[in-house]
């Protein structure tokens, strides 16, 4: 009878630790701490009891708790119901992005003042500056820098993790990313990559060699090859040094203008990231769409990666014609190209084709584990951020360059730019492939829903 009385008490007594009644069958709660004496309940195997009148959260493992978490019987695959996982709140990333947006807006004040006080030598007075939408000649020169200063002040106010501000952050991303950018940034980035390719060809094999002896032997072999190229006259190192010095001088003269262009593109990327995070916060706790599930992301991510690879082919293959007597770029070039110009064109073409191959890595096995020819790290998992960060940056840059590149082609009648530089498709495709890769590698919690 005593046992029966205790059982009845367990069935009818609510548990003060959680919001569900305690039952002997453990249907609602997997703890019976409510019926234990205080001395036993204070044992380290049981959590401390709340004070009288205090209500707790659902007990871990109970049906109500599992249902609220989206993993309980109510949400399992049964009768048309599916498993759901709420989106995670990216608090740390959002705080970092908000801080970056605030600092970027703060930097807009000195840049605007520089252009306002020195309109002839300001960062936006360079001869190469060709905005997508130029202001009418009747507009006074002080309007543009004043508007930039005002945008910086407003940016200081809207750099907040407030979901209702996403239309303003999206407006900043569109204006600075699509309207105020120029083709100078992508041109400079392309020439910089082409310049670094020979250096990478020397350094990367040494880094990939496994062991100290292998690295020493690799370095010695490369040094011997470079010395042979110099002795035979294939490479004129004096000319290479002179070219590097001239390039440094030009970059130093354009430093203010290049800094302003980099600042513009960086701001567009920051505001875009903040907009996306605010939109995610608006959905916090809601089920994610089915297409964000890892199995679905693998399918559309593969299509996006191959699309991005195809976008790299037009420019790369056109540059490869510079190996032939029928060089082409916006029209037949004939024999007008000197050897140095041909080499630069080929390096740019190889950079584009190499970027296209890296796009495929977002959906291939060698994008998740280092391939066999990476001797020092072969077989090891590829850290996801090594692919995600560059992929996201280049996707943003390509997307921002789409409108300025099309405007440049239409303005000068160079319509082949539209198809030889398909940034309007390359950027979104690379962004989608990068997102799918991040989902598959577990860096984005997408959840599974109907």
Q: Is the pLDDT of residue 224 over 50?
A: yes
Q: What is the pLDDT of residue 114?
A: 92
Q: Is the pLDDT of residue 60 over 50?
A: no
Q: What is the pLDDT of residue 309?
A: 95
pLDDT, tens digit, for every residue of 233-250?
777 788 778 878 887 888
* Contact (CB, 8 A) for 20 and 62: yes
What angle (nearest 5°) sits at the alpha carbon of residue 367, between those of residues 362 and 369?
Answer: 155
pLDDT tier at 42 (50, 70, 90 boundaries)? very low
Q: Where are the domains of the chain?
A: 2-75, 87-284, 287-450
* Contact (CB, 8 A) for 50 and 12: no
pLDDT tier at 332 (50, 70, 90 boundaries)? low
b vs e for 273-291, b when ≥16 Cβ sit within 10 Å of the residue's Cβ? bbbbbbebbeeeeebbeee
- Mean pLDDT of all residues belonging to the chain: 77
223 vs 218: CA distance, rounded Å: 9
Q: What is the pLDDT of residue 410?
A: 85
| More confident position, 432 or 410 | 432
Lowest mean pLDDT among 130-144, 251-265, 386-400: 130-144
Average of per-residue pLDDT across 272-295: 83
Q: What is the pLDDT of residue 79?
A: 42
Residues of the chain with pLDDT > 90, as a percent, come to 30
Question: What's the whole-model pTM score?
Answer: 0.71
Token duo for residue 161: 């993790």
228 vs 233: CA distance, rounded Å: 8
Q: Is 306 exposed, middle or buried (0-12, 13-18, 19+ CB in 10 A)?
A: middle
- How far CA 336 is from CA of 161, 325, 332, 355, 362, in Å, comes to 56, 10, 10, 28, 39
* Contact (CB, 8 A) for 70 and 85: yes
Per DSSP, helices labelled H in 140-292 are 143-158, 166-174, 184-208, 212-231, 237-253, 255-282
* Contact (CB, 8 A) for 93 and 444: no
351 vs 188: CA distance, rounded Å: 13
Q: What is the pLDDT of residue 214?
A: 86
Q: Is the pLDDT of residue 61 over 70?
A: no
Among the listed residues 314, 343, 298, 289, the one whose alpha carbon sits nearest the alpha carbon of residue 418: 314
Contact residues for 258 (Cβ-Cβ < 8 A; gap 6+): 184, 185, 188, 251
391 vs 450: CA distance, rounded Å: 29
Q: Is the pLDDT of residue 424 over 50?
A: yes
pLDDT tier at 69 (50, 70, 90 boundaries)? very low
Q: Which residues pair with 381 in a beta bridge?
A: 369
Among the listed residues 382, 348, 344, the one whose alpha carbon sits nearest the alpha carbon of residue 366: 382
* Contact (CB, 8 A) for 82 and 75: yes
- Rg of the chain on CA atoms, in Å: 30
- How far CA 442 is from CA of 134, 155, 293, 447, in Å, comes to 44, 33, 11, 11
Average of per-residue pLDDT across 336-347: 75
pLDDT, tens digit, for every residue of 145-198?
999 999 999 999 999 988 899 999 999 999 998 888 888 888 888 888 888 888
What would the DSSP string read from start to end of 18-60?
Answer: SSSB--TT-SS-S--GGGS-HHHHTSTTSPPPPPTT---PPPT
């Amino acid at each position: 009878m005593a046992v029966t009385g205790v059982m009845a008490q367990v069935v009818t007594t609510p548990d003060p630790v959680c919001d569900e009644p305690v039952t002997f069958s453990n249907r609602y709660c997997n703890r019976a701490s409510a019926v234990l004496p205080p001395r036993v309940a204070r044992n380290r195997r049981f959590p401390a009891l709340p004070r009288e009148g205090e209500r707790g959260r659902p007990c871990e493992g109970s049906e109500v708790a599992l249902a609220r978490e989206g993993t309980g019987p109510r949400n399992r695959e049964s009768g048309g119901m599916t498993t759901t996982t709420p989106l995670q709140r990216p608090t740390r990333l959002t705080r970092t992005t908000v801080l970056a947006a605030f600092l970027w807006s703060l930097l807009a004040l000195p840049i605007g003042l520089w252009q306002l006080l020195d309109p002839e030598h300001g960062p936006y007075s360079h001869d190469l500056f060709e905005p997508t939408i130029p202001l009418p000649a009747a507009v006074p020169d002080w309007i543009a820098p004043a508007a930039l200063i005002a945008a910086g002040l407003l940016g200081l106010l809207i750099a907040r993790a407030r979901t209702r501000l996403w239309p303003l952050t999206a407006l900043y991303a569109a204006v600075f990313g699509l309207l105020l950018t120029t083709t100078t940034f992508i041109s400079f980035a392309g020439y910089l990559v082409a310049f670094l390719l020979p250096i990478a060809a020397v350094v990367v094999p040494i880094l990939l060699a496994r062991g100290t002896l292998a690295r020493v032997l690799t370095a010695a072999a490369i040094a011997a090859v470079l010395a042979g190229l110099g002795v035979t006259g294939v490479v004129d190192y004096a000319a290479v040094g002179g070219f590097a010095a001239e390039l440094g001088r030009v970059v130093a003269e354009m430093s203010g203008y290049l800094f302003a262009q980099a600042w513009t593109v960086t701001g567009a990327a920051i505001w875009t990231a903040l907009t996306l995070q605010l939109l995610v916060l608006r959905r916090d706790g809601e089920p994610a769409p089915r297409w964000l599930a890892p199995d679905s992301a693998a399918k559309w991510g593969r299509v996006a990666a191959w699309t991005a690879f195809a976008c790299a082919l037009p420019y790369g293959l056109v540059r490869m014609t510079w190996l032939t007597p029928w060089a082409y770029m916006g029209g037949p070039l004939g024999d007008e190209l000197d050897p140095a110009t041909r080499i630069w064109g080929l390096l740019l073409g190889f950079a584009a084709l190499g970027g296209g191959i890296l796009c495929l890595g977002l959906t291939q096995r060698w994008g998740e584990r280092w391939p066999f020819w990476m001797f020092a790290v072969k077989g090891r998992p590829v850290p996801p951020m090594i692919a995600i960060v560059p992929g996201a940056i280049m996707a943003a840059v390509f997307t921002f360059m789409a409108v300025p590149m099309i405007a440049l082609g239409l303005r000068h009648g160079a319509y082949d730019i539209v198809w030889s530089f398909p940034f309007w498709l390359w950027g979104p495709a690379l962004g989608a492939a990068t997102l799918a890769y991040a989902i598959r590698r577990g860096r984005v919690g997408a959840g599974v829903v109907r």
